[in-house]
Structure 1
Amino acid sequence: MQEIKKIATGSPWEDIVGYSRAIKIGNIIEISGTTAPGRNEYEQTVAIIENIKKVLEGLDASLDNVIRTRIYCTDITQWEKIGKAHGEYFGKIKPVTSMVEVSKLIDPSILVEIEFSAIVSQ
């Protein structure tokens, strides 16, 4: 059986809801929906990706290993702000992605939430 490595970041939500920020099994990394404070969609997207860079580094990976992002936002008309920030990090990597509008996220100040999937060499 392959080793399963679970990563926690200390977010209060992790214990309340009962989840791991990231799980690595073999060469696959799955990262939970991640949010970050910020004044607008662009700032939140940048902060989320910066936080995930650190999580990936803790798993001997990087943004270059990301193969998929799933973006949830509360106002799809702001897609250009979100897309601009995403493109600044992933413009050359080009993972598959989706961006969908949801009616709300867990806190009214949260405008963007992103999930990540990555694959690393074994």
Structure 2
Amino acid sequence: MSLVKRVPETGHWAQLYGYSRAVAVGPLVVTSACTADLDANPDLAGDPRGQAKAAFRTALDAMVHAGAGVSDVVRSRLYVTDPSYADPVGRVHGEFFGVVKPTATVVTVSQLFHPGQLVAVELEGFRAWRDID
């Protein structure tokens, strides 16, 4: 049995570029950068808080599919396209992880891949060996 579990990403870019939404290797689980789907949710345009919530939901869903949960998250990386977004995005981070308190890094980037994306989230988790099937 392989200790590597991949959570597939079904979007066009994942197929073209060859990546997974998340990968679990033994107890370690990592996600690719997750963003809000602005094509499916155009109301999130210009809303860093709403985009952060959507990105965290996507990342956490991938973690769950890889066999980890919110309490297993040990590191988060938040990418924002404007420093003023750090506070609303950080507050969303607190809503999701206020009890867990993983490490957190906020990085300002000039832009994200899709026009209108303001926030991207990456998560890393560590599962107990007993939880690995």
What are the Cα deviations for residues 57-85 of structure 1, in whole angstroms up to 9, with x where unaligned?
Answer: 21221111000001111001121110111
C-alpha deviation, 1:4, in angstroms: 1.1
Q: Does 1:81 align with 2:94?
A: no
For the 8 Å contact 2:9–2:19, the answer to whether it is kept is no
2:24 paired residue number: 24
Q: Which residue of 2 aligns with 1:4?
A: 4
- The whole-number CA distance in structure 2 between the counterparts of 1:74 and 1:41 is 9
Supply the distance in 1 between the matched residues of 2:109 and 2:60 (Cα, whole angstroms). Answer: 25
- C-alpha RMSD of the superposition: 1.4
TM-score (norm 2): 0.85
Gaps of 5+ in 2: 39-43
2:10 corresponds to which letter in structure 1?
G
* TM-score for the superposition, normalised by structure 1: 0.93
**What secondary structure is seen at the aligned counterpart in 2 of 1:33?**
coil
- Whether the 8 Å CA contact 2:51–2:119 is kept in 1: the answer is yes
Structure 1's unaligned 5+ residue stretches are: none
Once the 2 structures are TM-superposed, how far is the Cα of residue 11 of structure 1 from its aligned partner? 2.1
Percent identical pairs in the alignment equals 30
Runs ≥4 in structure 1, deviation > 4 angstroms? none
Task: Give me the whole-angstrom Cα distance separating, in 2, the residues matched to 1:33 and 1:47.
Answer: 12
The answer on whether the counterparts of 2:23 and 2:66 sit within 8 Å (CA) in structure 1 is: no
Q: Any idea what SS the aligned residue of 2:20 has?
A: coil
Is 1:55 matched up with 2:62?
yes
Q: Which residue number corresponds to residue 72 of structure 2?
A: 65
Number of aligned residue pairs: give it: 122
Are 1:114 and 2:113 counterparts?
Answer: no
1:60-117 superposed Cα distances (whole Å, 9 cap, x missing partner): 2111100000111100112111011111001111100110110111012110011110
Cα displacement (A) at 1:2: 5.3
